[in-house]
Structure 1
């Protein structure tokens, strides 16, 4: 990861962020049948009033991730994506750490996510597990789905793992 990598809040409406969100949306739609695909379209992220974090290097957006408060004290990670050409550089880890910090700063007590159960999602599941996330039952409006893996972690100080 380069020293000039900037991890910060970003705008869902920024053209380059939107382009990466659309790439993520297309990849998720291609990877899962519609009934098992829980990816949010960029406009839905905007409507949900999520906090979006991006990783930029030399002004180019390389990765994104969003935090959505789904219940008092409970956040959900959405739209974690690293551009294919930037994978393997620690960008997802940096974004995930920033999102965990954002959740802690907002006094959230629990952070959850849904990701795929297929082998293509194994690197994502490993990243989340390395940051203290453990498999859990479906949360919020999710229902059991063999193509989904649900994960959660406490944000209490005693379980503050940051990989």
Structure 2
């Protein structure tokens, strides 16, 4: 298993991100989808990582700087074909480690509230994330669950 900072140019990365966006729109109203597309993930305040199992893309995730002391997890996704093998856990551990290295004292995230998002919610809760009020530019939304963790 190899995790690396990624430039989002590999076709497998583009495919996984399109799968992610498609699933977000299938499980939440459009106005409640906060997933970033490929162009927005290339922003200078975002560090995007991929996790590879041999030559197969297994997961991705990003950390977006919210302010000087905090970051937000974005685009956490494990490949459908490889779910249940711990790649999401490994990516989350990496994102937390990188966030500490970047000097962040707190991490935030937004995920959905539909049943589809229950596995993601369980993963975040198992890593010490707790529900919180909306942060940054987010507004209260019944389709969004906001979470945070002190690092």
Same fold (TM over 0.5): yes
Task: Kindly indicate whether residue 120 of structure 2 is the aligned counterpart of residue 129 of structure 1.
Answer: no
Question: In the comparison of the two structures, how many residue pairs are matched?
Answer: 151
4+ residue runs of structure 1 moved beyond 2 angstroms? none
Q: Residue 38 of structure 1 corresponds to which residue in structure 2?
A: 34
How far has the Cα of 1:13 moved from its partner? 2.4
TM-score of the aligned structures, taking structure 1 as reference length: 0.89
How many angstroms apart in 2 are the aligned matches of 1:22 and 1:73?
Answer: 30
Give me the CA root mean square deviation: 1.0
How many angstroms apart in 1 are the aligned matches of 2:15 and 2:138?
Answer: 27
Aligned with 1:150: secondary structure?
Answer: strand
How far has the Cα of 1:103 moved from its partner? 0.2
Higher mean displacement: 79-88 or 7-16:
7-16
**Cα deviations across residues 51-81 of structure 1 (Å, max 9, x unaligned)?**
1121111211111000010111110000001
Stretches of structure 2 lacking an aligned partner (at least 5 in a row) = none
**1:81 counterpart (68, 77, 82):** 77
Stretches of structure 1 lacking an aligned partner (at least 5 in a row) = 156-163
Higher mean displacement: 55-64 or 86-95:
55-64
The question of whether the paired residues in 2 share the 8 Å contact of 1:21 and 1:41 is answered with yes
Q: Residue 95 of structure 2 corresponds to which residue in structure 1?
A: 99
How far has the Cα of 1:110 moved from its partner? 0.6
**2:143 counterpart (140, 147, 156):** 147
